């Protein structure tokens, strides 16, 4: 009774004091104070605000990570609310600055603490990008704020090569080099005239990947209002150099090799290459060959795993001396609000937030809402063209793209509500009609509203960006899976990074969205696209930051740090799920060691190092001929005296023949050497999470280090029965520091020889 009386007092107070200036407030409440006659917290929250009967409005009810609501209130109304039982605190809503615009924040990069300030944001580290070229006028490649680093690093030997619509003055302290390689494409097309015979980008891919890795700060970046905020790359103060090897007229291995070769000669620290070659052995793979030479100079080469799913194409760039990056989803979605009922009557309306990327700053307001079996398949242009002006509800037919095109082709409809039962993130990169995508559960609410209303009307409001609501990360459905077809003995991919709908710079003379059939739009220099091509430069940028903090680390140490500190858990602290496998727990064959955690990678405790001879010993065990090995190594200085498939790598993979007699015990033994890069004297203890039905033994059980950079070795034995089912099993080995905070985790995979095929 006390709660109800308090609420009535609040009603009176709101009526008496709802004048003056209004502001949005976030109000925190004690959930145990909810009056019993309210069945849900949201009812309680909305009732508190709706009684005001003023110009204020209820915004959100928070029931999970926090408890309370947000609403537009006057100062006097807020003071009255503060006297209500259960009130905890309230404060004015704050302007949110999103940082691409959001992926650095998602990866916990902070301008005040951690890897960003420790590395000086990548200052003077050089990232060479092998790609389609660059748009040098993009503000992402301005050297604004880099005046104190205007002197080029002494190791830099590159140049700004002039060409068509590209002169040397376009380079600066950020974009320090640009070259192009076209002899291969010209040889293949002797009668063709290159569209743009210079390092200038005409495709957009290279501009996007370069700005993702190391773009400078750009305020007001967005994709038609979506994902708006301050755009910046992973290493915003790093230098970049572009090596254009991909052309409108074709893409050839010879040009790729030339570009990578020149990058090594020019003195880059990191090579980022978001491309690869499928179905070729290491000794015929230009990326594998060129990256071996880069590795010898301790240049880390970061590469994309490929977009081979759901077609079943295994990953490319599964190269032992490279970093191979899978693509993950993150917790940002693009939305539109579907309001059922008159949008001017806030008490009677129901709001559903669905997905949309309609590019116009539009509001389809108070239009008739229709749903019927004849029209709502949304697959007949003839029927749709005869429909009245309205917002049409389209059934889930499984052909969403076709429905969108059909709605875009007619002019009489005001908008559309699409439905999908697919629980996976919808990664359409634009929507050409004023539509919103909702779930099947929400469809039931819409149909109920239509059937129960004499005059069903609705409104759709676009350009909304939502962060932090989705459980993330998850493995995308398109990222290629391991094992590596050209070197299965080394577990690939290595790590996962954001890859879906990443906002980064784009070429301005290309359309990035459409409205209807004939209207093409450009998003003013930024674009949202998806792929492992987008994941790779995230990892490249993080590698550049680590190089800035630890210039003494080898390429393998940097890769190891990223792998052993990666997380296998999502934001709900549950194992990361695989969208492409019906949201089952993701295997290391899909995500490697897990999602990159940059700040932890700065201080990994232990690293698994590897030298060129270690990779040669691996090659020697792969039944390659001497010439094939020499194709990669280019040197006789290596030997095959200690050939072994057991590379000193931060992961373990053991294969079995599923045709072996069921119950037969199979055994695989590994040796690993770890280097202490943490405290001077420390001890680590091992903990094993074995794959189901698999016995894993590790000895010794503890590793004692007396000083920094000291090495210790350990052994792992995996014993598992052949069950004839061909299952992929996985677990982990974790070394935990006894008196410190370091946790060094390595994934284990037990798989049939046919896995990934």
Structure tokens that stand for 409 in this block: 């082709």
Beta bridge partners of 339: 351, 459
Structure tokens that stand for 218 in this block: 């750009």
CA angle 442, 443, 444 (to 5 degrees): 90
CA distances from 171 to 143, 161, 244, 250, 730 (A): 9, 9, 15, 26, 48
- Find out whether 50 and 42 touch, Cβ atoms under 8 Å: no
Count CB atoms within 10 A of the CB of residue 739: 8
> Which of 131, 269, 578, 603 is labelled catalytic?
131
Q: How far is 528 from 440, CA to CA, in rounded Å?
A: 26
Given the DSSP bridges, would you call strands 22-29 and 87-92 parallel, antiparallel or unpaired?
antiparallel
At residue 438, the 3 state secondary structure works out as strand
Q: How far is 750 from 235, CA to CA, in rounded Å?
A: 36
> Which of 13, 74, 142, 205 is labelled catalytic?
205
614 catalytic, yes or no? no
CA distances from 270 to 238, 253, 582 (A): 10, 20, 36
131 catalytic, yes or no? yes
Cis check for the bond before 532: say yes or no (omega within 30 of 0): no
At residue 572, the 3 state secondary structure works out as coil
> Which of 533, 722, 732, 746 is labelled catalytic?
533
Q: How far is 224 from 498, CA to CA, in rounded Å?
A: 21
510 catalytic, yes or no? no
Beta bridge partners of 334: 465
CA distances from 295 to 9, 156, 335, 633 (A): 73, 17, 44, 10
Which residue is it, tokens 């200690």?
A: 642
Q: How far is 391 from 416, CA to CA, in rounded Å?
A: 5
- Find out whether 711 and 675 touch, Cβ atoms under 8 Å: yes
Q: How far is 85 from 157, CA to CA, in rounded Å?
A: 69
For the chain, what is the total number of helices (H) and then of strands (E)?
A: 18, 38
Q: So which residues are the catalytic ones?
A: 131, 205, 533
């Amino acid at each position: 009774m006390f709660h109800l009386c308090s609420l009535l007092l609040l009603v009176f107070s709101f009526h008496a004091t709802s004048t003056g200036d209004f502001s949005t407030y976030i109000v925190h409440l004690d959930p145990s104070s909810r009056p019993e006659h309210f069945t849900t917290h949201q009812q309680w929250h909305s009732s508190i605000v709706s009684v005001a009967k003023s110009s204020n409005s209820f915004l959100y009810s928070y029931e999970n990570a926090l408890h309370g609501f947000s609403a537009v209130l006057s100062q006097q109304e807020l003071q009255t609310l503060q006297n209500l039982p259960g009130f905890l605190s309230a404060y004015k809503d704050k302007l949110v600055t999103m940082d691409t615009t959001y992926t650095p924040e998602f990866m916990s990069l902070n301008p005040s603490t951690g890897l960003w300030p420790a590395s000086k944001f990548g200052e003077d580290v050089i990232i060479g990008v092998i790609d389609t070229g660059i748009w040098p006028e993009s503000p992402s490649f301005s050297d604004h704020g880099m005046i104190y680093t205007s002197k080029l690093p002494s190791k830099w030997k590159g140049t700004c090569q002039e060409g068509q619509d590209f002169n040397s003055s376009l380079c600066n302290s950020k974009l320090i080099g640009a070259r192009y390689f076209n002899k291969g494409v010209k040889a293949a097309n002797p009668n063709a005239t290159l569209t743009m015979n210079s390092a200038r980008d005409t495709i957009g891919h290279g501009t996007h990947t370069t700005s993702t890795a190391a773009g400078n700060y750009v305020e007001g970046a967005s994709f038609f209002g979506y994902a708006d905020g301050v755009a910046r790359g992973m290493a915003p103060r790093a230098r970049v150099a572009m090596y254009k090897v991909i052309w409108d007229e074709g893409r050839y291995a010879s040009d790729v090799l030339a570009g990578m070769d020149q990058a090594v000669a020019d003195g880059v620290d990191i090579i980022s290459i978001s491309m690869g070659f499928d179905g070729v052995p290491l000794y015929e793979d230009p990326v594998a060959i060129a990256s071996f030479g880069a590795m010898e100079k301790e240049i880390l080469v970061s590469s994309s795993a490929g977009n081979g799913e759901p077609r079943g194409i295994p990953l490319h760039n599964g190269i032992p001396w490279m970093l191979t990056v899978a693509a993950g989803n993150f917790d940002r979605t693009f939305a539109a609000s579907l309001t059922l009922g008159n949008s001017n009557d806030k008490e009677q309306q129901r709001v559903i937030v669905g997905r949309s990327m309609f590019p116009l700053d539009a509001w389809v307001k108070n239009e008739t809402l229709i749903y019927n079996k004849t029209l709502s398949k949304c697959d007949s242009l003839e029927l749709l063209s005869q429909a009245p002006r309205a917002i049409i509800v389209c059934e889930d037919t499984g052909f969403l793209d076709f429905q969108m095109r059909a709605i875009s082709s007619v002019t009489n409809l005001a908008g559309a509500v699409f439905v999908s039962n697919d629980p996976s993130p919808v990664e359409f990169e634009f929507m050409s009609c004023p539509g919103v995508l909702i779930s099947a559960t929400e469809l039931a609410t819409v149909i109920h509203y239509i059937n129960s209303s004499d005059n069903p009307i609705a409104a759709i409001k676009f350009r909304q960006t939502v962060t932090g609501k989705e459980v993330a990360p998850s493995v995308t459905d398109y990222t290629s899976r391991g094992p590596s077809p050209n070197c299965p003995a080394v577990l690939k991919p290595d790590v996962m990074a954001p890859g879906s709908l990443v906002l980064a710079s784009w070429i301005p003379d290309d359309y990035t969205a459409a409205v209807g059939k004939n209207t093409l739009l450009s998003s003013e220099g930024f674009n949202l696209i998806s792929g492992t091509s987008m994941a790779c430069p995230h990892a490249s940028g993080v590698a550049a930051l680590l190089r800035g903090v630890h210039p003494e680390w080898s390429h393998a140490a940097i890769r190891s740090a990223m792998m052993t500190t990666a997380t296998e858990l999502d934001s709900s602290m549950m194992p990361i799920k695989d969208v492409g496998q019906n949201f089952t727990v993701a295997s290391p064959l899909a995500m490697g060691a897990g999602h990159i955690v940059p700040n932890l990678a700065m201080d990994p405790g232990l690293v698994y190092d590897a030298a060129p001879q270690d990779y040669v010993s691996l090659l020697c065990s792969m039944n390659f001929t001497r010439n094939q090995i020499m194709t990669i190594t280019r040197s006789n200085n290596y030997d095959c005296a200690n050939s072994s498939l057991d590379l000193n790598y931060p992961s373990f993979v053991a294969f079995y023949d599923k045709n072996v007699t069921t119950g037969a015990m199979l055994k695989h033994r590994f040796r690993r050497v770890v280097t202490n890069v943490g405290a001077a004297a420390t001890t680590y203890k091992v903990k094993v999470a074995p794959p189901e039905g698999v016995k894993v033994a590790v000895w010794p059980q503890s590793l004692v280090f007396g000083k920094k950079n000291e090495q210790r070795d350990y052994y792992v034995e995996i014993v598992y029965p052949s069950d004839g089912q061909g299952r992929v099993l996985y677990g982990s080995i974790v070394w935990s520091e006894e008196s410190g905070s370091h946790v060094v985790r390595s994934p284990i995979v037990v798989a049939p020889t046919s896995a990934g095929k």
